[in-house]
Amino acid sequence: MTQNLLRKILCSFFFVLGSILYAQTVTGTVSDAAGTLPGVNVIVKGTTNGAQTDLDGTYTLDNVASDAVLVFSYLGFKTQEIAVNGRSVIDVTLEEDVAQLEAVVVVGYGNQVRKEITTAVTSVSEEEFNKGVINNASQLLQGKVAGLSVYNKGGNPNDNGIIRLRGLSTVGGNTEPLVVIDGVLGQSLNNVDPSDIKNITVLKDGSAAAIYGSRASSGVILVTTKSGKSNQPFSVEYNGQYGVSDAINEVEIMDRGQFLATGGTDLGSDTDWVDEVTRSAFSQVHNIAMSGGAENTNYRVAVNYRDTEGILLNSGFEQLNVRGNFTGRLFNDKLRINFNSAFTQRDSDFGFNEALRYAIVYNPTAPVFGDDAPFAFNSDQFGGYFETLGLFDSFNPVSIAEQNRNAGATTTINYNADFRYSITDDLTATLNVGQQVSRTDNNQYYPTTAFFRGGAVSPFRKGRADFYSNEARTKTLELFGTYNKTFNDFFRMKLDGGYSFQENDFNENYLQVGDFPPGVDFDFSNAIEVSQDLNEAGRVIANSGRNDDDRIIAFFLRGNFTFDDAIYLTASLRREGSSRFGEDNQWGTFPSVAVGADLNNYLQLDNVSLLKARLGYGVTGAIPPGVGLSQTTFNVTNGAGGFGSSSTGIGTRLANPDLKWEEKRELNFGIEFAMDRLSATVDLYNRDIVDFITSVQIDAASNNGFTSQFQNSGELNTKGFELTVNYDIVRNDRVKYNMGLVASTYETVLEKNVGGDRTIANLGAPGQNDTEVILVREGDEIGQIWGPVFTGEVDANGTPILADINGDGNVVADQGSALAEDGDFKVLGQGFPDWEIGWTHQVQFGNWDVNAFFRGAFGHSMVNTFRVFYEPRIGSQSSYNYVNTDLARDDIRTAQFSSYYVEKADFLRLDNLTVGYNFDLNDDSFIKSARVSLTAQNLFTITDYTGADPEPAFQDLGAVDNGGNTGNPEVLAPGIDRRYNYFQNRTITLGLNVKF
């Protein structure tokens, strides 16, 4: 044993001696197919001695043994090992590794290789996006990310829809994720055309989002836009789409014959009002992108034009978007400058959803025009249209859609410049500055002949014009450094730290005038000086507001550590201050820590490429919904009592200097698994929202007349489960068939509620003014639909008989007793779905490809308000049409809300079906590639829900009475299918993609 040990020592000694004696300097260049490749890691295998990162495409290593092996590695390329064999010059060309490129994920302030990520992050590439006419970038992700809910109920092209990540993350603030576009915080998805997006990454859990602090409480969406490539010749790409949409799944109502058989009033005509106010809507999208690059520069400029009609008459938008990207390298590639800019001009015709609402309930025997009425009718007074006078809440829907105007224009300009300088091989500094300016001008006009809001029958106040404008400015500046060091084969470290500043400035103005001269065919919105207001002086309405000094300042630090290429640790800390709080509570601290391990690195399971477990905990914050909530606001009037007087007292909102940060504390456990054909990810999370900020009603008598105050008023807890699975069912040279499934479920409980137990979400008029249908109660799940239970029996007067739930022999079902101990109320359903799924099928065979995408939600219920108001066969409402679903009963003749009108709304929808063909072209052809596709969106929906759209309603805009204001969203009141919702539509799109 001693001799063997001595022999090993001598051999090692002479080996080292020989290496020293025959050591040499090795130099060379590193390139890819396009040219030199800066930034490649070069090390001598087995040691970090002499390791370096080349900066200009060349490298030099000293004291390299003649028989050493060099290792060249670069993110997105295959690693190469080359034996020196006594050579002093070794030039290397690296081969691109597509699989590795796909494994690179954009995270906050940088990139990470997928396998090293320790948090819940999902990245969706351009190839995986939803197809067809996509009006907002959020639709690209619909059903693609487990835990991310994207709903545009009804499909109104002018609505952005609702985006929620892992349910409700705050009550009084912003419930949608923070959007970061090309590294710039606080952007809007409206300002980037879907055609320009390369990749979208969603940071789902607290440990992933904590680096962004208070704005990340609802998650983070990172958007990476397309850019040019260095050493690429000038190229042009065209994407075009032509689509047509038609209304489907309309609310079932009576036709003329059914209406008259029920005792309806006959006005002599036969009118399909829904058909009269809807149309086949055409859309066209054109995108031209030009890109190229030299050795040290690249660029891309894209021009996008969209013209999208809505199925509702006079609704839709026209949009022009121009986006430019330029990247240049200076000082031997040490300085990289990246500049992005975008211009968006959008002209919208919002139309009037009320036209759809009244199309459901307007008398089907009424004529469209007054000259067709069976009796004398002064149609000139109403612009030629017929109106049913003397009825409550009854307006000709065609007159609403065609006589009135509801339009707007938004212009947005944004830019950002990113400067990254390599101080050393391991240390870089980045400066990112940006600004966005957005201006919106909306106007509504109701002529003197408009019965709806125009006062056509009023002796005064005829006609009305509304003007609203706002301007929003956002400035950002971020300065941070990155230190990236590989110490040896066992340990790597990356540190990011820096400073962030954001300032927002917002101002708005509103003006409403009326009382225009009657009998004049003129658009008085262009001459508002003729507004008289003589018969009702003081009816001019004007207000304005400003929200400035809105700043967020932050300092942050994050470390990523890799051990043995299999154990990963991430920790971050963000210290942030906001001007929205009082002086003593402006600063908050948001830490996170996450650890992960590739267990298969040690288990070495057969055919398994990844088995990673990860655990993360992170804290994010939420700021109040506006500036100055720690200060007192007053009613200020200028009336008969003098400036500053008010009939209700001068106080409206009491100051709260003790208002503090709302916090989200989230624990996430995940498992990631991958083998040859199968990959899966499972996440379990527990999230606590503490000290959530909302307005609380306070006693005016004991608070000097103040009636409300913003307080840290409660706590929420959410527990959830998410699953993502992908499987290559068929994979050979001829056919590839991949199936993917994402599924998620969660439950949110109101654990603490300072505001007290209550019912909310008033159904409104006619006849349901005191009916509130959503329960808010401490200790209960949020989103519960609350009300009495219908027994299925009806008394002699046609009144539904309600159940004696508590069994005390007395039915107490009046709304004032909704929370009483003897009240007969119970949970009738849940507004949030139990499960949401996305189910994708991708098939490739030859030049053909097929993509089928199903989306569904299960376990949620909806209050069908059209049925509540218009299904009972009430004799006094014989001049209104009736909703006539399969659930309708002729014997119910009293409007009484109960379980009868709460329906399960489970659905499975073929959301997207795309068939594409890629043409074979010669290499020397002027056209480099060409593709045509045909896409059908919303082909069919499987559901038992009788309303227009079974998609969940995640929030409530309040009751709409006589076309009134819908108010601010109530996020604690999901599950109400209001009467102002847009109708579903089916869209068929022909697409063309050509590259030159």
The CATH code of the domain that includes 55 is 2.60.40.1120
Which range of residues forms the domain containing residue 341? 240-401+408-417
**Which regions of 169-315 does DSSP assign to beta strands (E)?**
178-181, 197-203, 220-225, 235-247, 281-293, 297-309
- pLDDT score for 646: 42
Separation CA 579–CA 551 (nearest Å): 6
One domain for residues 87 and 118: no
Residue 632 above 70 pLDDT?
A: no
- In this prediction, residue 14 has a pLDDT band, given cuts at 50, 70 and 90, of very low
Of the pLDDT bands very low, low, confident and very high (cuts 50, 70, 90), residue 5 is very low
pLDDT at 182 over 90: no
Nearest 5°: CA angle at 372, between 366 and 376? Answer: 95
Answer whether residue 19 shows pLDDT above 60: no
Residues 803 and 836 in one domain: yes
Q: Look at residue 514 and tell me if it is in a domain.
A: no
The residue with greater pLDDT, 41 or 437, is 437
In a domain, 85, yes or no: yes
Q: Do 791 and 901 sit in the same domain of this protein?
A: yes
Q: What is the pLDDT of residues 466-497, one digit of tens each?
A: 999 999 999 999 999 999 888 877 898 999 99
Report pLDDT digits (tens) over 545-583: 888 778 999 999 999 999 988 899 999 999 999 988 877
User: Which residues have C-beta within 8 Å of that of residue 437, sequence separation ≥ 6?
Assistant: 412, 413, 414, 471, 472, 473
Query: Within this chain, do residues 287 and 324 fall inside the same structural domain, yes or no?
Result: yes
Look at residue 751 and tell me if it is in a domain: no
Dist CA 949 CA 38 (whole Å): 54
Return the closest-CA partner of residue 412 out of 190, 689, 600, 633: 190
* Same-domain pairing of 287 and 150: no
CB-neighbour burial class of residue 376 (10 A; exposed 0-12, middle 13-18, buried 19+): exposed
For the beta carbon of residue 670, count every other beta carbon within 10 angstroms.
Answer: 24
From 798, 856, 802, select the one nearest 825 (Cα to Cα): 802
Percent of the chain with pLDDT over 70: 91
Q: Quick one: 70 and 201 in the same domain?
A: no
What CATH code is carried by the domain that includes residue 124?
2.170.130.10
Q: What is the mean pLDDT of residues 239-243?
A: 93
3-state secondary structure of 724: strand
Tell me the mean pLDDT in the region 981-993: 90
Residue 266 DSSP class: P
Q: Which neighbouring-strand residues pair with 224?
A: 199
Cβ contacts of 922 within 8 Å, gap of 6 or more? none
Same domain, 777 and 912: yes
Task: Report the mean per-residue pLDDT for the chain.
Answer: 86
Q: Is the peptide bond before 766 cis (omega within 30 degrees of 0)?
A: yes
pLDDT grade for 141, boundaries at 50, 70 and 90: confident
> Residue 660 — pLDDT band, cuts 50, 70, 90?
confident
Number of residues that make up the chain? 996
| pLDDT, average across residues 658-676 | 91
Residue 364, domain member (yes or no): yes
Task: Please tell me whether residue 979 adopts helix, strand or coil conformation.
Answer: coil
- Give me the phi and psi of 158, to 5 degrees please: -90, -5
pLDDT of 663 over the 50 cut: yes
pLDDT at residue number 1: 43
**Cα separation of the two ends of the chain:** 73
Could you give the percent of the chain with pLDDT greater than 90? Answer: 52
The residue-averaged pLDDT of 81-104 equals: 75
Q: Are strands 976-977 and 861-864 parallel, antiparallel or unpaired?
A: parallel
Q: Are 958 and 811 found together in one domain? A: yes
The SS3 of residue 421 is: strand
Confidence tier at 647 by pLDDT (50, 70, 90) = very low
Residue 109's SS3 state is coil
Most distant CA pair in the chain, distance: 124
Judge contact between 357 and 961, C-beta under 8 A: no
146 and 271 both lie in a single domain: no
163 with 310, same domain? no
The number of distinct structural domains making up the chain is 4
CA 775 vs CA 66, 710, 780, 806: distances in Å: 78, 21, 9, 18
* 628 domain-assigned: no
The Cα 42–Cα 73 span in angstroms is 7
Alpha helices in 248-323 (DSSP H): 256-261, 273-277
Global pTM value: 0.85
User: What confidence tens digit (pLDDT) does each residue in 315-356 have?
Assistant: 999 999 999 999 999 988 899 999 999 999 999 999 999 999
Is 244 contained in some domain?
yes
Averaged pLDDT for residues 416-444: 93
Dihedrals phi, psi of 789, to nearest 5 degrees = -110, 130
Same-domain check for residues 800 and 917:
yes
Q: What is the DSSP pairing of strand 24-32 with strand 92-93? A: parallel
CB 517, CB 535: distance < 8 Å: no
Question: By the 8 A CB rule, do 416 and 432 touch?
Answer: yes
Strand 902-904 versus strand 907-918 pairing type: unpaired
State yes or no: pLDDT of 710 exceeds 80. Answer: yes
Q: Are residues 215 and 258 in the same domain?
A: no
CA-nearest of 550, 548, 538, 551 to 508 is 548
pLDDT of residue 693: 84
Which of 364, 384, 417 terminates a domain? The answer is: 417
pLDDT of 411 strictly over 70: yes
Cα 195 to Cα 192: distance, rounded to the nearest angstrom = 8
Give the 3-state DSSP-derived string for 778-827, with helices as H, strands as E and coil as C.
Answer: CCCECCEEEECCEEEEECCCCCEEECCCCCCCCCCCCHHHCCCCCCCCEE
* 535 pLDDT more than 60: no
What does DSSP say about strands 220-225 and 197-203: parallel, antiparallel, or unpaired?
A: antiparallel
Q: Which of 752, 946, 953, 741 is nearest to 864 (CA)?
A: 946
Domain boundary among 97, 128, 162: 97
Helix, strand, coil percent content, the chain, rounded in steps of 5: 10, 50, 40
- Which of 73, 97, 121 marks a domain boundary? 97
Q: In angstroms, rounded to a whole number, what is the distance separating the alpha carbons of residues 510 and 555? A: 38
In a domain, residue 220? The reply is: yes
Strand ranges for 449-490 from DSSP E? 464-486
Q: Is residue 191, in this structure, part of any structural domain at all?
A: yes
Q: Residue 908 is which amino acid?
A: L
Residue 34: what pLDDT? 56
**Residue 932, pLDDT score:** 94
- Rounded CA separation 587/658 (Å): 13
